[in-house]
Amino acid sequence: MAELNDGKPRKIKNTRPYSFSIEEDTSNYSAYRRGGIVTQVKEPKVLNFKPLQQALKDPGDYLLSDFSKFDRPPLLHLAFQALDKFIAEFGRFPIAGSEQDAQKLIALVTDINNGQSDGRLEEIDHKLLMNFAFGARAVLNPMAAMFGGIVGQEVVKACSGKFHPLFQFFYFDSVESLPSEPLHPNDLKPLNCRYDAQISVFGSKLQKKLEDAKVFIVGSGALGCEFLKNVALMGVCCGDEGKLTITDDDVIEKSNLSRQFLFRDWNIGQAKSTVAASAASIINPRLHVEALQNRASPDTENVFDDNFWENLSVVINALDNVNARLYIDQRCLYFQKPLLESGTLGAKCNTQMVIPHLTENYGASRDPPEKQAPMCTVHSFPHNIDHCLTWARSEFEGLLEKTPTEVNAYLSNPSEYASAMKKAGDAQARDTLERVLECLDKDRCDTFQECITWARLKFEDYFVNRVKQLTYTFPEDAATSSGAPFWSAPKRFPRALQFASDDLSHLQFVLAGAILRAEVFGIQFPDFVKSPEKLADAVDKVIVPDFLPKKGLKIVTDEKATSLSTASMDDAVIIDELILKLEMCRKKLAPGCKLNPIQFEKLVWPI
């Protein structure tokens, strides 16, 4: 079907994992052979928004955030129009707790509803409108934070021209957060303080409880900063008896600054909990906060002891791993403390409120394990960008973090390290020793030019030799045992790259690899790395050996395989030989030799 190669976008249907149908007549097209790459094209969509005056009368479909409240948006649409009329008529908002003002608002809603020809509501929820009137003048921080996030998303959509914007009207309510019992009007009166808005909704008694609460926030990353800001603005732990304890054993990194808004670039390297607590104290100087740098775990139960847990009012989790969440959940379960559990993963998030004797705890249910790409797919048959990212991250950590760490472990105590490897005696121990020996012998770098050589040969290994070996083992016309083409979806037949020093992407790969390798071996960067011409000259000096494919080499194709290493009966013998070679290599090293492992940092360029 060469006719499909004209580059024009086509509508498809009946999409399945590896096939689809085209919405056009293909009877006169040439026969489809095999393979081919299809790219998804998202065509622009034009949205026509109604003017406000028209949209108020004919709002159309509402965006729902809670399908159990599908009848709320039409009523809230009327309520906001009635509120606008109330303000225009009386020059103020309804007074919190005033039933007289609430009845006036309800009457306005009824009049607007009766004046509608289309979309008239048959029933009006008076209780909901009473709550609406009582809280109309309040600006609550949690609601402002939620709507602020939504507005921020809409701004990004408008600036980027991507993603679907909110269309016309979106109403959100959290009536379930209001007190279950009616409050006395005196309890809603303002106290001439910064919390009057909350008092007008939740009452002064609840505000006093918030101020005197003893709260434990575990973690001060992205979620921790948001929680801490909200706690400070709401006056939680700001009373004479209140206390907020926040703990996090991590320090601030550059990559944190984009989403952990309490930190600034001059805070890099400082303790997260300390900086976050200081920032929150600026937001509310009355906040009683203690910042700790302890990991909440069985090892720190002398710090977070029984007395500490028994005195808590509530625990807020802002953690980034399941094991820590389960530990905090078990402590809350044991001491019967309410827990606010939450987490984020990319654009996804979850929240769970755990109340003793009322809800299930966090550890009572588990998410199914996330699907991971098979090892053979990631290393030999990638077919989406996630596979490439997984492979690159794995190679980075193996070459620049794990192997140097293993080298240091060996050099710090060679005899103990050798004994541990001999005791293990498996394929993994053999692979580890091979990587350590390679790092200290064949791949050891003493000059920056040697780092360039290492990086250039890595390029050849990754993007040329491995591809040539793969296509030698499985040619383009290779077939499976059943006779089907081996290179069929989702596998893609690869093409080896040809290194060119005038290709900026090729040169940047070598430069980044050389600089990272130099950092591992403690080698200074020469000035010529900033000159593409001089760098290209240095790269061109590298002698790249010709590649000869290996016959009979086994490449793993089983998607159920969890490791690419294969066990051997001779592992123990090979391990003994590797240890002897390592000992000979160690004697050639300078006394006190040590490598510098590099941890992956998302927003750091190595220059």
The distance of Cα 275 from the centroid of its chain, to the nearest Å, equals 22
Cα(416)–Cα(44) distance, integer angstroms: 64
Return all residues near 374 (Cβ < 8 A) that are at least 6 apart. Answer: 558, 559, 560, 561
376 is catalytic: yes
Contacts made by residues 110-118, CB under 8 angstroms, sequence distance 24+: 112/78, 112/81, 112/82, 112/85, 113/78, 116/57, 118/58
Q: Which conformational region is residue 352 in: left (phi greater than 0), alpha (psi within -120 to 50 degrees), or beta?
A: beta
Cα(44)–Cα(161) distance, integer angstroms: 9
* Burial of 202: CB neighbours in 10 Å, binned 0-12, 13-18, 19+: buried
Return all residues near 391 (Cβ < 8 A) that are at least 6 apart. Answer: 378, 379, 382
Alpha-carbon distance values, 202 to 96, 140, 146 (Å): 10, 11, 18
Cα(409)–Cα(406) distance, integer angstroms: 5
How many degrees, rounded to 5, is the angle at CA 37 between CA 34 and CA 41? 140
3-state secondary structure of 563: coil
Alpha-carbon distance values, 170 to 59, 61, 81, 167, 585 (Å): 10, 9, 14, 8, 69
The DSSP 8-state label assigned to residue 464 in this structure reads I
Exposure string of 219-249, with b = 16+ CB inside 10 Å and e = fewer, is bbbbbbbbbbbbbbbbbbbbbeebbbbbbbe
Which of the residues 225, 376, 451, 585 is marked catalytic? 376
Q: Show which residues are catalytic.
A: 376
